[in-house]
Amino acid sequence: MAKSIKNILITFIIGCIIFVIGTLLSGGFNYESINEAATSFFFYQLYAFVLGYSNMLFFDFLNRKNWKKTETIKRIIIGIIGSTLLTICSLFFLRMATATLMYNIPLNQFLKGEKIAYYQFGLWVTLTIVVIFHIIYFYNKYQQNRIKEQKVIAGTASAKFDALKNQLDPHFLFNSLNVLTSLIEENPENAQKFTTSLSKVYRYVLEQKNKELVTVDEELKFAKTYMSLLKMRFEDSIIFNMPEKASNPDSKVVPLSLQLLLENAVKHNMVTSSKPLHINIFEQDGNLVVENNLQPKQIVKKSSGVGLNNIKQRYQLLTRKNVFINQEANRFAVAIPMLTKQLSVMKSINSKSNFSDSYVRARDYVNELKGFYYSLLSYFVVIPFLIYINYNTYWGVKWFWFPMLGWGVGLVLQAFKVFVNNGAFGRNWEKRKIEQFIREEENKRWN
């Protein structure tokens, strides 16, 4: 019902516009009376309603069909040919009804007096509007497809991010139970303390693993608690140094990243009282660095690859900043980026791309600008040529106005998109719509 009212309103507005244009082309507003002007306005509205509404129904019928991507040209040809035939038939029956019912002209006389020139004005008006509708329709469809593609990319990244986070729960529990098993044999008293502390630590794991980012202060506090568990087993064989708080309280890292790095350091290095493991955590150039002296175990089990790879992949899904690994003869360090703000929309990173976001946006804008100038140049070349054709064929009906106005509206929309940042079709419109759709999906997922 709402759509029908909207279509009726559109046909009324179109009728008003065509009434003004048609009156100007036929000599201006030189009506002898108000009744004559009202009658003329009524007929324009009648023609606009019949032609406009019938073409809208035909357009909706085409939209309901499942067109393949390869059938775009076919869809356009069928749309234009169908609208042309529908317009000619509608004009014929309108003219016949007007002649026979209002002016009492016999049907035979009406048919004998019909000429193709009587249909040119209505046909050009309808086709101009149909072309504009097709342009708007395919532009909106293009934008919707782009948005769907971005939603699929973001959804894939989100699913991958969840899968990586879900690795942390069993991974942490498995390794903690291994430590507990060792403690039960070596020091039963510390094993009891470890069990109590483990419940507190594991609660943090359950609370933080579903977050994309946590503050550095939270991670440092958790790392300190986790190291206290390890020191129950290794005692003075581990020397641990870290800051109490981050220099920037708003800086963030991926959750459980420090725990995974500390766990790796203990897992792959000898930890003895004669060769203690020194672990330092400090800030450097916007990164949080976890550094330890390198003293590899002689026999070490094959790594599962969960720890360091998990951190790297989670950062790749959240930011363009990289995780740095530096291994020297007697030193091993991993630097994880400290992010200053949490991203509301996860980025899908193409590792093969060497272009920054700024360069890509600038390149796209230049292409849009070139496209607009080409369209503008074509407009000032083609329109005078159409006026020349109209003048040398039949100047009685100045049909050049319709392509000139229709194309002009398209140029205005294109200029608005190119030169206006924010707006219904501005340069930032697509970005805002993509972020809006992804935020909606994220809200559904988290709520």
Distance set, CA 178 to CA 182, 262, 270 (Å): 6, 15, 17
- The residue written with tokens 């993509």 in the block is 434
Q: pLDDT tens string for the chain (447 positions)?
A: 567 777 788 788 878 877 877 777 666 677 778 888 888 888 888 888 888 888 888 888 888 888 887 887 888 888 888 888 988 898 899 889 888 888 888 988 888 888 888 888 778 877 777 777 777 777 777 777 776 666 655 555 555 555 555 554 565 667 677 777 777 777 777 777 778 777 777 777 777 766 778 899 998 988 888 888 778 777 788 998 999 899 988 899 988 888 888 888 888 888 888 889 999 999 998 899 999 999 888 765 555 556 678 788 778 877 878 899 998 888 999 999 998 754 433 444 343 334 444 555 666 666 677 777 777 777 777 787 778 777 777 777 777 888 888 888 888 877 777 776 555 555 566 666 666 666 665 554 433
Residue 125 placed within a domain: no
Q: Looking at the structure, tell me whether residues 172 and 109 fall in a common domain.
A: no
Residue 379: closest CA among 408, 419, 418, 413: 408
Residue 425 placed within a domain: yes
Q: Looking at the structure, tell me whether residues 109 and 21 fall in a common domain.
A: yes
The single-letter code of the amino acid at 230 is L
Per residue in 340-365, pLDDT (tens digit) is: 754 433 444 343 334 444 555 666 66
SS (H, E, C) 191-246: HHHHHHHHHHHHHHHHHHCCCCCEEHHHHHHHHHHHHHHHHHHHHHHEEEECCCCC
Q: Looking at the structure, tell me whether residues 287 and 157 fall in a common domain.
A: yes
Q: Looking at the structure, tell me whether residues 106 and 185 fall in a common domain.
A: no
Residue 251 and residue 339 in contact, taking contact as beta carbons nearer than 8 Å: yes
Q: Looking at the structure, tell me whether residues 236 and 275 fall in a common domain.
A: yes
Strand order in the sheet with 331-337: 238-241, 277-284, 287-293, 331-337, 324-327
Q: What total of structural domains would you count in the chain?
A: 3
Residue 20 placed within a domain: yes
Q: Looking at the structure, tell me whether residues 392 and 443 fall in a common domain.
A: yes
What element of type H or E holds 326?
Answer: strand 324-327
Residues with Cβ < 8 Å from 207, sequence gap 6 or more? none
CB atoms within 10 A of CB 366: 10
Cα 233–chain centre separation = 50
Residue 43 placed within a domain: yes
Which letter does DSSP use for residue 86 in this model? Answer: H
Residue 226: closest CA among 246, 256, 267: 256
Please say which residue of 287, 304, 337 terminates a domain.
337
Residue 282: strand pairing partners: 289
Residue 186 and residue 224 in contact, taking contact as beta carbons nearer than 8 Å: no
The tokens for 29 are 């507003």
Residue 128 placed within a domain: no
DSSP class per residue in 353-377: ----HHHHHHHHHHHHHHHHHHHHH
The tokens for 77 are 């040809």
Q: Looking at the structure, tell me whether residues 322 and 411 fall in a common domain.
A: no
Q: Looking at the structure, tell me whether residues 303 and 167 fall in a common domain.
A: yes
- Residue 124 has a pLDDT of 80
Please say which residue of 337, 369, 393 terminates a domain.
337
Distance set, CA 192 to CA 175, 182, 296, 401 (Å): 17, 12, 30, 90
Q: Looking at the structure, tell me whether residues 266 and 317 fall in a common domain.
A: yes
Rg (CA), the chain: 36
Please say which residue of 85, 114, 143 terminates a domain.
114
Which letter does DSSP use for residue 71 in this model? Answer: G
Pairing, β 238-241 against β 277-284: parallel
Q: What is the CATH number of the domain that holds 184?
A: 3.30.565
Domain that residue 83 falls in = 1-114
Cα 224 from Cα 240, distance rounded (Å): 9
Residue 260 placed within a domain: yes
Residue 429 placed within a domain: yes
Residue 317: closest CA among 290, 343, 291, 295: 343
Find the Cα–Cα–Cα–Cα dihedral 382, 385, 391, 395, rounded to 10°: -10
- Residue 350 has a pLDDT of 40
- Residue 12 has a pLDDT of 84
Q: Looking at the structure, tell me whether residues 27 and 173 fall in a common domain.
A: no
Residue 306: closest CA among 173, 159, 145, 119: 173
Residue 248 placed within a domain: yes
Residue 338: strand pairing partners: none
Q: Looking at the structure, tell me whether residues 172 and 24 fall in a common domain.
A: no
Q: Looking at the structure, tell me whether residues 319 and 363 fall in a common domain.
A: no
Cα 312 from Cα 47, distance rounded (Å): 66
